[in-house]
Amino acid sequence: VVQRLQQLDIRISDIQQIFLTHLHSDHISALDDVWLTGWIYQRPSPLNIYGPNGTKSFVDHLSQAYAYDVQLRNQYSGLGINAGAVVTNDIEPGVIYSENGIKVTAFLVDHKPVAPAYGYRIDFGERSVVISGDTSYSQSLVDHSVGIDLLVHEIMSVDHKILEKNPRLQKIQRYHTNPEQLVKVLSSIKPRTAVMTHIIVVGMSEDEVLKQVTIAYEGEVHMGEDLMSIEVGSSIKVIPYSKN
């Protein structure tokens, strides 16, 4: 994550707020790097972390794991312990952040057996974005996405012949969103633009998955990529990463 932010010329010390959707390893394993590297680069104030029940315990254990490193850096590098401080918030559904015109609303999604798992709606002025987190079809997400500009939603698609012979993939698919379910979500919400993310594809290509969705849904849909930028304004620009 830190390397990716640097590729986009985003200073890691500027990251002040982190919102976790759930506590699966692939969603939290880089948190220590963002926290500690931001400290080394002198984050000006404590890092605020928001997430489901268990987030505070997780961060407390991270702090214990890195206690020796933090002690040495504070003692011999003069970094200052305050810049490395963390404020952790175990959240409930509702508005969890509202500062400088930015409002973040957490809502429950269906990622069982992982519970609670959250999606987030971000409102700023007249613009709005919803991030699904990991979920199967979620009516809660649909209800919280009225009138949004951008939907960033997970997707999982497995070739039917592979899926019917693989009980493990069947279990995983049950707590992720397949193309048919995503079309149902999009048809209900009708966002100005949608971007698929957390892409799990087995036995087919990403282009084939995108085609499955766009054949059934006429709105604008993109397949997400690392380092992609999305500008949300009077128009929405989806910009693939380019070194140039």
Looking at the structure, do residues 195 and 171 belong to the same domain, yes or no? yes
Same domain, 79 and 142: no
Q: Which domain holds residue 188?
A: 92-244
Q: Same domain for 44 and 144?
A: no
Residues 164 and 103 in one domain: yes
- Return the pLDDT at 44: 85
Q: Is 201 helix (H, G, I), strand (E, B) or coil?
A: strand
Given a contact cutoff of 8 angstroms between Cβ atoms, the answer to whether 214 and 172 are in contact is no
Which helix (H) or strand (E) segment holds residue 96: the answer is strand 94-99
pLDDT tens string, the chain, 244 residues long: the values are 999 999 999 999 999 999 999 999 999 999 999 999 988 888 888 899 999 999 999 999 999 999 898 888 888 777 766 667 899 999 999 999 999 999 999 999 999 999 999 999 999 999 999 999 999 999 999 999 999 999 999 999 999 999 999 999 999 999 999 999 999 999 999 999 999 999 999 999 999 999 999 999 999 999 999 999 999 999 999 999 887 6
Spatial distance between the Cα atoms of 88 and 57, rounded to a whole number of angstroms: 9
Regarding whether 158 and 120 lie in a shared domain, the answer is yes
Give pLDDT, residue 80: 67
What is the pLDDT, as a whole number, of residue 233?
96
Regarding whether 190 and 176 lie in a shared domain, the answer is yes
Beta bridge mates, 151:
130, 194
**Which helix or strand (DSSP H or E) is residue 70 part of?**
helix 67-76
- The reported pLDDT for the residue numbered 81 is 64
Q: Are residues 138 and 216 in the same domain?
A: yes
CATH of the domain at 229: 3.60.15.10
158 in the same domain as 213: yes
- pLDDT score recorded for residue 83: 65
Q: How many angstroms separate the CA atoms of 131 and 21, rounded?
A: 9
* pLDDT for res 130: 99
* Residue 173 pLDDT: 95
Residue 178 confidence (pLDDT):
97
Q: Are residues 127 and 25 in the same domain?
A: no
Last residue of a domain, one of 33, 63, 91: 91
Distance, CA of 108 to CA of 22 (rounded, Å): 10
List helix spans (H) across 126-231: 139-143, 160-163, 167-174, 179-189, 206-216
Q: What is the pLDDT of residue 84?
A: 76
pTM of the model: 0.94
pLDDT of residue 49: 98
Looking at residue 242, its pLDDT comes to: 83
- For the chain, what is the total number of helices (H) and then of strands (E)? 10, 12
| Same-domain check for residues 144 and 86 | no
Residues 70 and 151 occupy one common structural domain: no
Domain shared by 109 and 192, yes or no: yes
Integer angstrom CA distances of residue 210 from 96, 135, 147, 178, 221:
33, 18, 23, 11, 8
Last residue of a domain, one of 38, 68, 91: 91
Residue bearing tokens 């969603």:
27
Distance CA 230, CA 56 (A): 31
Which pLDDT does position 116 carry in this prediction? 97
Helix axes 31-40, 67-76, angle to 10 degrees: 10
Check residue 12 and report its DSSP letter: G
* CA-based radius of gyration for the chain: 19
- Which of 50, 76, 91 is the C-terminal boundary of a domain? 91
Q: Total domain count for the chain?
A: 2
Q: Tell me the three state secondary structure of residue 202.
A: strand
